[in-house]
Amino acid sequence: MKILVYIQQDEGKINSVSLEALKGAQDIAAQTNGTVSALSFNADVCSQLAGYDVAEVLVVEDDNLNTFNPLFYLKALEDIAKAESPDIIVFGHTYEARDWAPRLSARLDIPFISDCIGFKNEDELTFIRSIYQGKFNSDSVVNNGAFIVSFQSGAFRVDGLQSGSADIRQVTVDLSGAGDSIAPEEKFQEAEQAIDLNQADVIVSVGRGIGKEENIELARELSKTLGGEIASSRPVVDAGWLESSRQVGSSGQTVSPKLYLALGISGAIQHIVGMKGSKNIVVINKDKNAPLFEIADYGVVGDIFEIVPKLTEKLQNA
Amino acid sequence: MKICVLIKQVPDKDSSLTIADDHLTLVENNITWVSNESDNYALEEALQLREKHGGEVIACTLGKDSARQVLKDALAKGADRGIFISDSSFESLDVLSLGKVFASTLEKENFDLIMSGLQSDDQGNSQLGLIIAELLNMSHGTLGMGTEIIDDSTIRLKKELEGGWFQWTKLSLPASISIQSGINSPRYATLKGIMMVKKKTVDEINASDVASRASASNITVKKLYVPDKTKETQFIEGSPDEISEQLVKLFKNDIKVLN
Ligand SMILES: Cc1cc2nc3c(=O)[nH]c(=O)nc-3n(C[C@H](O)[C@H](O)[C@H](O)COP(=O)(O)OP(=O)(O)OC[C@H]3O[C@@H](n4cnc5c(N)ncnc54)[C@H](O)[C@@H]3O)c2cc1C
Ligand SMILES: Nc1ncnc2c1ncn2[C@@H]1O[C@H](COP(=O)(O)O)[C@@H](O)[C@H]1O
């Protein structure tokens, strides 16, 4: 089993989700008698990569690859896949990977099992995906031939990476004309980053379960009583009920308060990555199977409209 | 501007879902079906682009018979026409094979823009739009949070990046772009819109129409199951009064956030 791991870097720093994926690749290799190569489009990160237990580090240096353009990246990896014939190409499931790995699958005409949370090697190499918004898992296998797999943030732990000392090999690709139809501009942040949720010891976070805009007041009252900040999952911001700087998750803020009180939030991975570091996670949800209970320290299966007003009242009198 | 919007029918997030005895499918009789969340935003964006720049919006879905409903909903909101792709042989296809079915269906329409949601809420592959882009030789962009037509051959897409960052990207048309939730405020169907549905056409496509491209699935799903619990969650039970009482104690004595 020849495994090629694409290592994403952001301004000269290795992306942690691709390092986790590298650990996943090491685990697959260990169980299948395979070898792992790490591939980078940036020479600066190669010495770090060479310090891990990999067969070799491949590096492509080309000005067209200095910043992300999906079409240049695609052509580079296409050339490399053709030259090196890996059995598995591994990605971390980052936003950047979302923007080119599926297209690589179509170009190479090989399947892509995306956003996996793990693998097992029982009778055959099986990849585990979280589907239906975290409600179920599925086991998938590839029938034959090479394939692409990507791993979700948190699927493996970086601190388990085996170290070693690998050789670095330069490879060349032909990118002429490959990126013409896509022209990325500068990255930017919206001016409004008014609220730093990380200053708060207590965060009361509302999800779609809050139902409508008027009900936000219930949560606001509770968070005021607790001396905390109000935050939310994405759908609440999408609906315009709270400002976007209060969104927690992969496209919002990452928080780690002493208390994260989640009201009517189901627990999609994109939300969890933003709050799983909280010291105490308390979840109130009427669905006992809500995936967020999985990471809760304390759980209440119940209706927020019955509990929150009572809780606020009792806190005010406490 | 000729725009195609891909809309998938998925279970409503509040449906309680049960895995069937085959450990591969869901028990269907208690599922409420809806259009995929981000696809609603894609449809709205397409309708707004048409309102500004003229042209046509065609809604396309692949699914079982029940999926006709998502086309009806899209037509009621203002889409001009529908394409319904349905065949029992498509049901277990992996997303690359599905992409081939879509590509051969959509190829002859010569769309300027194909819009999809950033991912399906059931399978969550986050792949289909890019696969179609590759197969039909279009430019692409993902996680769109804004669009701007520059001229007949260029669109600018505001892409969402991680952690609150964004990036505008110029794409040559034709392009396949995926849309993130929150880009706009999706409209509701009006009564007039619902009345118009009957007058609009829906083209029907089955396996014999796409034989040239579709291939057998190369990924096999072995089983579905409920994930194991790994963390010991301490559940607090009782009446709302009792629960509140216990939460106050918890906040005070254990988590120590009350002073
Ligand atoms: C690329 C990408 C980026 C994303 N970024 C983010 C992000 O940064 N942050 C984020 O949050 N999401 C993000 N999402 C969206 C994410 O996938 C989920 O769709 C979202 O987190 C769901 O929000 P929710 O839990 O509030 O809503 P739902 O999933 O609809 O859950 C609502 C919950 O409320 C419960 N409920 C309903 N009524 C009550 C009641 N009366 N009492 C108690 N409980 C009740 C229900 O049981 C349900 O569990 C992103 C998605 C993608 C694909
Ligand atoms: N069966 C389908 N019918 C119509 N559109 C689909 C279908 N499957 C996926 N899509 C579109 O492709 C997007 C991404 O889906 P996925 O790659 O499954 O995450 C969805 O948001 C839809 O816009």
Strand pairing category for B33-35 and B9-11: antiparallel
Among residues B127, B136, B105, B134, which one has the least CA distance to residue B211? Answer: B105
Q: Which of A141-150, A183-192, B7-16, B238-247 has the lowest mean pLDDT?
A: A183-192
Q: How far is the CA of A233 from the centre of ligand 1 (A)?
A: 6
Over range A278-284, report the average pLDDT: 98
Among residues A157, A164, A159, which one has the least CA distance to residue A48? Answer: A164
Give pLDDT, residue A106.
Answer: 98
Q: Are A287 and B16 inside 8 Å of each other by CB?
A: yes
Give pLDDT, residue A55.
Answer: 98
Q: Which chain A residue is nearest to residue B251, measuring alpha carbons?
A: A259
In chain A, ranges of CATH 3.40.50.1220 domains: 197-317
Residue A194 has pLDDT above 80, yes or no: no
Q: Are A140 and B222 inside 8 Å of each other by CB?
A: yes
Q: Bridge partners of A91?
A: A150
Give me the total of CB pairs closer than 8 Å, taking one residue from chain A and one from chain B: 253
In chain A, ranges of CATH 3.40.50.620 domains: 2-170
Binding-face residues of A in 48-87 toward B, CB within 8 A: 70-71
Give pLDDT, residue A35.
Answer: 98
Helices (H), chain B: 37-53, 68-77, 95-106, 128-135, 191-196, 240-249
Q: Determine which of B162, B224, B241, B242 to mutate to test the interface with A (most A C-beta atoms within 10 Å).
A: B162
Cβ atoms of residues A171 and A82 within 8 Å: no
Among residues A11, A274, A29, A26, which one has the least CA distance to residue A158? Answer: A26
A259 interaction partners in chain B (CB closer than 8 Å): 251, 255, 257
Over range A109-125, report the average pLDDT: 96
Give pLDDT, residue A193.
Answer: 65
Pocket test for ligand 1, best of A94, A114, A208, A215 (most atoms within 8 A of CB): A208
State how far the Cα of A43 lies from the Cα of A54, in Å rounded to an integer: 16
Domains of chain B: 2-210 (3.40.50.620), 229-259 (no CATH)
Give pLDDT, residue B193.
Answer: 97
CB atoms within 10 A of CB A85: 10
State how far the Cα of B140 lies from the Cα of A23, in Å rounded to an integer: 30
Residue type, B3: I
Give pLDDT, residue B229.
Answer: 77
pLDDT bin (cut points 50, 70, 90) of residue A17 is: very high
Give pLDDT, residue B2.
Answer: 98
State how far the Cα of A225 lies from the Cα of A234, in Å rounded to an integer: 24
Residue type, A24: G
The pair of structure tokens assigned to A187 is 């990255």
Task: Establish whether residue B119 lines the binding site of ligand 2, counting it when its CB lies within 6 angstroms of any ligand atom.
Answer: yes
The residue that leads in pLDDT, A113 or B92, is A113
Give pLDDT, residue B213.
Answer: 59
Q: Bridge partners of A120?
A: A126
Using the atom order of ligand 2, give the atom closest to the CA of residue B129. 12
Give pLDDT, residue B249.
Answer: 96
Give pLDDT, residue B214.
Answer: 60
Give pLDDT, residue A11.
Answer: 86
Domain A2-170 falls under CATH 3.40.50.620: yes
State how far the Cα of A149 lies from the Cα of A165, in Å rounded to an integer: 25
CA distances from A241 to A195, A197, A206, A228, A272 (A): 16, 17, 10, 18, 21
Q: What percent of chain A has pLDDT over 90?
A: 94
The 3-state DSSP class for residue B82 equals: strand
Give pLDDT, residue B80.
Answer: 98
Return per-residue pLDDT of chain B as tens, 259 residues: 999 999 999 999 888 899 999 999 999 988 999 999 999 999 999 999 999 999 999 999 999 999 999 999 999 999 999 999 999 999 889 999 999 999 999 999 999 999 999 999 999 999 999 999 999 999 999 999 999 999 999 999 999 998 889 999 999 999 999 999 999 999 999 999 999 999 999 999 999 888 765 667 899 999 999 998 777 899 999 999 999 999 999 999 999 999 7
Q: Determine which of B10, B122, B127 to mutate to test the interface with A (most A C-beta atoms within 10 Å).
A: B127
Q: Bridge partners of B143?
A: none
Determine the distance from the C-alpha atom of residue A240 to the mean position of all C-alpha atoms in its chain, rounded to a whole number.
25
Among residues B50, B42, B74, which one has the least CA distance to residue B1? Answer: B50
Q: What is the CATH number that goes with domain A197-317? A: 3.40.50.1220
Residue A191 has pLDDT above 70, yes or no: no
User: Rounded to two decimals, what is the model's pTM?
Assistant: 0.96
Give pLDDT, residue B14.
Answer: 84
pLDDT bin (cut points 50, 70, 90) of residue A9 is: very high
What is the interface pTM, i.e. ipTM, of the complex? 0.96
pLDDT tens-place string over residues A60-96: 999 999 999 999 999 999 999 999 999 999 999 999 9
Chain B within 8 Å of A120 (Cβ-Cβ)? Answer: no
Q: What is the mean pLDDT of chain B?
A: 95
pLDDT bin (cut points 50, 70, 90) of residue A318 is: confident
Buried b (16+ CB within 10 A) or exposed e, A71-81: bbbbbbbbbbb
Strand locations in chain B (E): 2-6, 9-11, 33-35, 56-62, 81-85, 113-117, 139-151, 154-160, 165-172, 175-179, 202-205, 219-225, 234-235
Give pLDDT, residue A161.
Answer: 96
Nearest CA to ligand 1 atom 31: A266
pLDDT tens-place string over residues B138-149: 999 999 999 999
**DSSP string spanning A166-229?**
-EEEE-----TTTTTTEEEEEEEE-S-----GGG-SEEEEE-GGG-SGGGHHHHHHHHHHTT-E
Over range A11-29, report the average pLDDT: 96
Give pLDDT, residue B232.
Answer: 85
Residue A16 has pLDDT above 80, yes or no: yes
Q: Which of A38-52, A294-308, B191-205, B229-243 has the lowest mean pLDDT?
A: B229-243
Over range A132-146, report the average pLDDT: 95
